[in-house]
Amino acid sequence: MSPIPSADTAVCHPLVKPLTLASALVGLTVLGVGIASKLGVIDADMAKRICGIAFGVLLVVLGNFLPKVARPIGADADPRPIRAAERLAGWLFVLGGLAYIAAWVFVPPGLNLMASSVVGLGVFAAASAVWLTLAGLPRHRPMVGNPRAYAARRGMFVMLHAVFWAFAMFLAAGLWAQPVVTYMTIGFVAANGVLLSCLRRPRHPQQA
Amino acid sequence: MSLVFKALSDPTRRRVLELLKSGPMSAGELAGHFTVAKPTLSAHFAVLREARLITSEKSGNSVIYQIQMSVLEEALLGFAQAFGWQLNASDTPTPETPIKAPRP
Protein backbone atom coordinates (compact mmCIF):
# COMPACT_ATOMS: atom_id res chain seq x y z
CA MET A 1 0.00 0.00 0.00
CA SER A 2 1.27 3.42 -0.87
CA PRO A 3 1.18 5.75 2.13
CA ILE A 4 -0.16 8.63 0.05
CA PRO A 5 -3.91 8.35 -0.48
CA SER A 6 -4.56 8.25 -4.22
CA ALA A 7 -6.78 10.73 -6.04
CA ASP A 8 -9.24 7.87 -6.35
CA THR A 9 -10.28 8.36 -2.72
CA ALA A 10 -12.19 11.50 -3.72
CA VAL A 11 -14.72 9.36 -5.58
CA CYS A 12 -17.48 8.00 -3.40
CA HIS A 13 -17.99 4.29 -2.74
CA PRO A 14 -20.12 2.51 -5.38
CA LEU A 15 -22.69 1.61 -2.72
CA VAL A 16 -23.26 5.20 -1.58
CA LYS A 17 -25.71 5.86 -4.43
CA PRO A 18 -28.11 2.92 -3.84
CA LEU A 19 -28.02 3.43 -0.07
CA THR A 20 -28.69 7.17 -0.34
CA LEU A 21 -31.52 6.49 -2.77
CA ALA A 22 -33.09 3.89 -0.46
CA SER A 23 -32.94 6.07 2.65
CA ALA A 24 -34.18 9.15 0.77
CA LEU A 25 -37.14 7.16 -0.56
CA VAL A 26 -37.99 5.94 2.93
CA GLY A 27 -37.71 9.47 4.34
CA LEU A 28 -39.94 10.91 1.62
CA THR A 29 -42.47 8.09 2.01
CA VAL A 30 -42.77 8.67 5.75
CA LEU A 31 -43.06 12.43 5.22
CA GLY A 32 -45.67 12.00 2.49
CA VAL A 33 -47.68 9.53 4.55
CA GLY A 34 -47.59 11.93 7.52
CA ILE A 35 -48.96 14.78 5.42
CA ALA A 36 -51.55 12.54 3.74
CA SER A 37 -52.87 11.23 7.04
CA LYS A 38 -53.06 14.75 8.53
CA LEU A 39 -55.03 15.85 5.45
CA GLY A 40 -57.30 12.85 5.90
CA VAL A 41 -56.47 11.26 2.56
CA ILE A 42 -55.55 7.96 4.22
CA ASP A 43 -56.56 6.61 7.63
CA ALA A 44 -54.16 6.06 10.53
CA ASP A 45 -53.98 2.28 10.05
CA MET A 46 -52.97 2.65 6.42
CA ALA A 47 -50.38 5.32 7.32
CA LYS A 48 -48.78 3.02 9.90
CA ARG A 49 -48.79 0.15 7.44
CA ILE A 50 -47.06 2.14 4.67
CA CYS A 51 -44.40 3.47 7.07
CA GLY A 52 -43.79 -0.05 8.36
CA ILE A 53 -43.36 -1.41 4.84
CA ALA A 54 -40.98 1.45 3.95
CA PHE A 55 -38.72 0.63 6.92
CA GLY A 56 -38.90 -3.07 6.09
CA VAL A 57 -37.70 -2.31 2.56
CA LEU A 58 -34.84 -0.24 3.98
CA LEU A 59 -33.83 -3.16 6.22
CA VAL A 60 -33.83 -5.54 3.23
CA VAL A 61 -31.65 -3.14 1.20
CA LEU A 62 -29.20 -2.64 4.10
CA GLY A 63 -29.01 -6.37 4.80
CA ASN A 64 -28.40 -7.08 1.14
CA PHE A 65 -25.40 -4.75 0.96
CA LEU A 66 -23.98 -5.52 4.43
CA PRO A 67 -21.61 -8.30 3.23
CA LYS A 68 -20.59 -6.10 0.30
CA VAL A 69 -18.94 -3.40 2.43
CA ALA A 70 -16.23 -5.65 3.77
CA ARG A 71 -13.26 -4.31 5.67
CA PRO A 72 -10.31 -4.06 3.27
CA ILE A 73 -7.94 -7.00 2.94
CA GLY A 74 -5.33 -6.75 5.69
CA ALA A 75 -7.53 -4.79 8.11
CA ASP A 76 -7.99 -7.88 10.27
CA ALA A 77 -5.42 -10.41 11.38
CA ASP A 78 -7.97 -13.13 10.64
CA PRO A 79 -10.80 -11.83 8.45
CA ARG A 80 -12.67 -15.15 8.45
CA PRO A 81 -14.89 -14.70 11.54
CA ILE A 82 -15.94 -11.16 10.65
CA ARG A 83 -16.74 -12.14 7.05
CA ALA A 84 -18.84 -15.05 8.30
CA ALA A 85 -20.66 -12.70 10.67
CA GLU A 86 -21.35 -10.19 7.87
CA ARG A 87 -22.71 -12.86 5.56
CA LEU A 88 -24.97 -14.46 8.14
CA ALA A 89 -26.20 -11.09 9.45
CA GLY A 90 -26.87 -9.98 5.86
CA TRP A 91 -29.09 -13.00 5.24
CA LEU A 92 -30.84 -12.50 8.59
CA PHE A 93 -31.61 -8.86 7.81
CA VAL A 94 -32.89 -9.61 4.29
CA LEU A 95 -35.15 -12.50 5.37
CA GLY A 96 -36.15 -10.70 8.58
CA GLY A 97 -36.94 -7.53 6.63
CA LEU A 98 -39.16 -9.53 4.27
CA ALA A 99 -40.89 -11.13 7.28
CA TYR A 100 -41.36 -7.65 8.79
CA ILE A 101 -43.01 -6.43 5.56
CA ALA A 102 -45.17 -9.56 5.46
CA ALA A 103 -46.27 -8.94 9.07
CA TRP A 104 -47.46 -5.43 8.12
CA VAL A 105 -49.19 -6.60 4.94
CA PHE A 106 -50.92 -9.78 6.06
CA VAL A 107 -51.62 -9.44 9.79
CA PRO A 108 -54.94 -7.59 10.38
CA PRO A 109 -54.80 -4.00 11.73
CA GLY A 110 -54.59 -3.86 15.50
CA LEU A 111 -52.38 -6.94 15.66
CA ASN A 112 -49.90 -6.03 12.92
CA LEU A 113 -47.97 -3.55 15.06
CA MET A 114 -47.22 -6.17 17.73
CA ALA A 115 -46.47 -8.92 15.20
CA SER A 116 -44.10 -6.82 13.10
CA SER A 117 -42.34 -5.37 16.16
CA VAL A 118 -41.70 -8.85 17.54
CA VAL A 119 -40.29 -9.89 14.15
CA GLY A 120 -38.27 -6.70 13.62
CA LEU A 121 -36.72 -6.45 17.08
CA GLY A 122 -36.17 -10.22 17.08
CA VAL A 123 -34.17 -9.94 13.86
CA PHE A 124 -31.93 -7.30 15.42
CA ALA A 125 -31.48 -9.41 18.57
CA ALA A 126 -30.60 -12.47 16.48
CA ALA A 127 -28.20 -10.54 14.24
CA SER A 128 -26.43 -8.96 17.24
CA ALA A 129 -26.11 -12.35 18.91
CA VAL A 130 -24.72 -13.88 15.71
CA TRP A 131 -22.27 -11.02 15.26
CA LEU A 132 -20.99 -11.10 18.84
CA THR A 133 -20.66 -14.89 18.79
CA LEU A 134 -18.83 -15.07 15.48
CA ALA A 135 -16.82 -11.87 15.33
CA GLY A 136 -16.94 -10.28 18.79
CA LEU A 137 -16.49 -6.53 19.16
CA PRO A 138 -14.45 -4.81 16.44
CA ARG A 139 -10.87 -3.93 17.23
CA HIS A 140 -9.16 -0.78 16.14
CA ARG A 141 -6.22 -1.27 13.85
CA PRO A 142 -4.16 1.13 11.81
CA MET A 143 -5.98 1.88 8.60
CA VAL A 144 -5.01 -0.16 5.58
CA GLY A 145 -6.69 -0.16 2.22
CA ASN A 146 -9.17 2.21 0.72
CA PRO A 147 -10.72 4.75 3.14
CA ARG A 148 -13.91 4.69 1.06
CA ALA A 149 -14.53 1.17 2.30
CA TYR A 150 -14.46 2.34 5.92
CA ALA A 151 -16.78 5.28 5.22
CA ALA A 152 -19.37 3.09 3.48
CA ARG A 153 -19.16 0.57 6.29
CA ARG A 154 -19.70 3.20 8.95
CA GLY A 155 -22.71 4.54 7.06
CA MET A 156 -24.14 1.03 6.92
CA PHE A 157 -23.95 0.53 10.68
CA VAL A 158 -25.38 3.99 11.42
CA MET A 159 -28.35 3.25 9.17
CA LEU A 160 -28.96 -0.20 10.65
CA HIS A 161 -28.89 1.40 14.10
CA ALA A 162 -31.45 3.98 12.93
CA VAL A 163 -33.76 1.25 11.58
CA PHE A 164 -33.56 -0.54 14.93
CA TRP A 165 -34.67 2.63 16.73
CA ALA A 166 -37.42 3.18 14.17
CA PHE A 167 -38.80 -0.29 14.93
CA ALA A 168 -38.55 0.33 18.67
CA MET A 169 -40.29 3.72 18.37
CA PHE A 170 -43.10 2.18 16.32
CA LEU A 171 -43.73 -0.25 19.13
CA ALA A 172 -43.49 2.44 21.82
CA ALA A 173 -45.89 4.72 19.92
CA GLY A 174 -48.40 1.87 19.74
CA LEU A 175 -48.07 0.82 23.37
CA TRP A 176 -47.61 4.08 25.25
CA ALA A 177 -48.37 7.74 24.75
CA GLN A 178 -46.46 10.12 22.54
CA PRO A 179 -44.03 11.52 25.24
CA VAL A 180 -42.24 8.15 25.39
CA VAL A 181 -41.39 8.47 21.72
CA THR A 182 -40.06 11.97 22.30
CA TYR A 183 -37.72 10.65 25.00
CA MET A 184 -36.74 7.81 22.70
CA THR A 185 -35.81 10.32 20.01
CA ILE A 186 -33.45 11.96 22.50
CA GLY A 187 -32.12 8.50 23.37
CA PHE A 188 -31.58 7.75 19.69
CA VAL A 189 -29.57 10.95 19.17
CA ALA A 190 -27.37 10.12 22.19
CA ALA A 191 -26.90 6.48 21.14
CA ASN A 192 -26.08 7.57 17.61
CA GLY A 193 -23.37 9.89 18.93
CA VAL A 194 -21.82 7.04 20.92
CA LEU A 195 -21.99 4.76 17.87
CA LEU A 196 -20.34 7.37 15.63
CA SER A 197 -17.48 7.83 18.06
CA CYS A 198 -17.03 4.06 18.33
CA LEU A 199 -16.96 3.77 14.54
CA ARG A 200 -14.55 6.67 14.06
CA ARG A 201 -12.18 6.27 11.21
CA PRO A 202 -8.98 4.48 12.17
CA ARG A 203 -6.04 6.80 11.73
CA HIS A 204 -3.48 6.28 9.03
CA PRO A 205 -0.12 5.39 10.64
CA GLN A 206 1.64 8.08 8.59
CA GLN A 207 -0.75 10.80 9.70
CA ALA A 208 -0.42 10.09 13.43
CA MET B 1 -25.91 -6.29 -13.25
CA SER B 2 -25.21 -7.89 -16.65
CA LEU B 3 -21.55 -8.05 -15.60
CA VAL B 4 -22.64 -10.04 -12.55
CA PHE B 5 -24.65 -12.47 -14.67
CA LYS B 6 -21.74 -12.88 -17.04
CA ALA B 7 -19.37 -13.49 -14.14
CA LEU B 8 -21.69 -16.06 -12.56
CA SER B 9 -22.32 -18.05 -15.71
CA ASP B 10 -19.06 -19.93 -15.75
CA PRO B 11 -18.37 -23.01 -13.61
CA THR B 12 -14.72 -22.09 -12.99
CA ARG B 13 -15.60 -18.61 -11.78
CA ARG B 14 -18.37 -20.02 -9.57
CA ARG B 15 -15.85 -22.45 -8.11
CA VAL B 16 -13.50 -19.52 -7.37
CA LEU B 17 -16.33 -17.73 -5.51
CA GLU B 18 -17.19 -20.87 -3.55
CA LEU B 19 -13.53 -21.25 -2.53
CA LEU B 20 -13.30 -17.60 -1.50
CA LYS B 21 -16.42 -17.89 0.68
CA SER B 22 -14.33 -19.57 3.37
CA GLY B 23 -11.88 -16.64 3.47
CA PRO B 24 -9.41 -14.57 1.45
CA MET B 25 -6.87 -16.52 -0.60
CA SER B 26 -3.82 -15.69 -2.65
CA ALA B 27 -3.80 -16.26 -6.40
CA GLY B 28 -1.32 -19.11 -5.92
CA GLU B 29 -3.50 -20.88 -3.33
CA LEU B 30 -6.50 -20.58 -5.64
CA ALA B 31 -4.54 -21.87 -8.63
CA GLY B 32 -3.74 -25.00 -6.60
CA HIS B 33 -7.45 -25.93 -6.73
CA PHE B 34 -7.64 -25.79 -10.54
CA THR B 35 -6.07 -27.56 -13.45
CA VAL B 36 -6.64 -24.53 -15.70
CA ALA B 37 -3.63 -22.58 -16.99
CA LYS B 38 -2.67 -19.59 -14.87
CA PRO B 39 -3.29 -16.90 -17.54
CA THR B 40 -6.82 -18.28 -18.07
CA LEU B 41 -7.39 -18.21 -14.36
CA SER B 42 -6.27 -14.62 -14.02
CA ALA B 43 -8.62 -13.69 -16.87
CA HIS B 44 -11.40 -15.26 -14.78
CA PHE B 45 -10.28 -13.19 -11.76
CA ALA B 46 -10.43 -10.06 -13.93
CA VAL B 47 -14.04 -10.80 -14.92
CA LEU B 48 -15.01 -11.34 -11.27
CA ARG B 49 -13.25 -8.15 -10.23
CA GLU B 50 -14.92 -6.15 -12.99
CA ALA B 51 -18.31 -7.36 -11.74
CA ARG B 52 -17.21 -6.25 -8.23
CA LEU B 53 -17.75 -9.73 -6.82
CA ILE B 54 -14.19 -9.91 -5.50
CA THR B 55 -11.55 -7.38 -4.49
CA SER B 56 -7.84 -7.86 -4.69
CA GLU B 57 -4.84 -6.49 -2.88
CA LYS B 58 -1.16 -6.88 -3.69
CA SER B 59 0.86 -8.30 -0.82
CA GLY B 60 4.53 -8.79 -1.56
CA ASN B 61 4.72 -10.53 -4.90
CA SER B 62 1.36 -12.29 -4.67
CA VAL B 63 -2.20 -11.03 -5.02
CA ILE B 64 -4.80 -11.73 -2.33
CA TYR B 65 -8.43 -12.08 -3.35
CA GLN B 66 -11.42 -11.50 -1.11
CA ILE B 67 -15.09 -12.13 -1.84
CA GLN B 68 -17.39 -9.11 -1.88
CA MET B 69 -20.92 -10.28 -2.65
CA SER B 70 -24.25 -8.86 -1.59
CA VAL B 71 -26.94 -11.24 -0.34
CA LEU B 72 -28.72 -10.99 -3.70
CA GLU B 73 -25.55 -11.85 -5.60
CA GLU B 74 -24.95 -14.79 -3.28
CA ALA B 75 -28.49 -16.03 -3.95
CA LEU B 76 -27.87 -15.66 -7.70
CA LEU B 77 -24.68 -17.69 -7.29
CA GLY B 78 -26.75 -20.39 -5.62
CA PHE B 79 -29.25 -20.40 -8.50
CA ALA B 80 -26.45 -20.44 -11.06
CA GLN B 81 -24.91 -23.45 -9.29
CA ALA B 82 -28.22 -25.28 -9.03
CA PHE B 83 -29.22 -24.80 -12.64
CA GLY B 84 -25.72 -24.91 -14.10
CA TRP B 85 -25.76 -21.63 -16.03
CA GLN B 86 -23.44 -21.80 -18.98
CA LEU B 87 -22.09 -19.21 -21.39
CA ASN B 88 -21.62 -19.42 -25.13
CA ALA B 89 -18.10 -20.51 -25.97
CA SER B 90 -17.35 -17.05 -27.41
CA ASP B 91 -17.78 -15.40 -24.00
CA THR B 92 -15.23 -17.57 -22.25
CA PRO B 93 -12.24 -15.42 -21.41
CA THR B 94 -8.90 -16.16 -22.93
CA PRO B 95 -5.65 -14.45 -22.02
CA GLU B 96 -6.02 -12.46 -25.27
CA THR B 97 -9.30 -10.91 -24.10
CA PRO B 98 -8.64 -7.26 -23.32
CA ILE B 99 -8.85 -6.93 -19.57
CA LYS B 100 -9.83 -3.74 -17.83
CA ALA B 101 -7.16 -2.43 -15.49
CA PRO B 102 -7.78 -3.53 -11.88
CA ARG B 103 -9.25 -0.99 -9.56
CA PRO B 104 -6.70 0.37 -7.10
Which DSSP string do the residues of A96-157 spell out, in sequence order?
A: HHHHHHHHHHHSPTTTHHHHHHHHHHHHHHHHHHHHHHHT-S-------S-HHHHHHHHHHH
Nearest-Cα distance to chain B for A153, in Å, is: 13
Helix (H) / strand (E) containing A94: helix A80-106
* Residue with the larger pLDDT of the pair A27 and A15: A27
SS3 label, residue B90: helix
By the CB < 8 Å criterion, does B24 face chain A? yes
Q: Which residues of A touch B23 (CB under 8 A)?
A: 79-80, 83
Q: Which residues of B touch A79 (CB under 8 A)?
A: 23-24, 66
**Separation of alpha carbons A108 and A7, rounded Å:** 54
A143 confidence band (pLDDT: 50, 70, 90): low
Nearest-Cα distance to chain B for A30, in Å, is: 26
Residue A208 pLDDT greater than 60, yes or no: no
Q: What is the DSSP letter of A66?
A: G
Segment B12-71, tens digit of pLDDT: 899 999 999 888 888 888 888 888 888 888 899 999 998 889 988 887 888 889 888 999
Nearest-Cα distance to chain B for A66, in Å, is: 7
Residue A113 pLDDT greater than 50, yes or no: yes
Average pLDDT, chain A: 82
SS3 label, residue B6: helix
* Residue with the larger pLDDT of the pair B101 and A116: A116
| Best CA proximity match to A167, nearest among A51, A79, A61 | A51
The residues that bridge with B66 in the sheet, in sequence order, are B55
SS3 label, residue B31: helix
**Separation of alpha carbons B20 and B90, rounded Å:** 26
Segment A42-94, tens digit of pLDDT: 888 888 888 889 999 999 999 999 888 877 777 777 788 888 888 999 999 99
* Residue with the larger pLDDT of the pair A30 and A201: A30
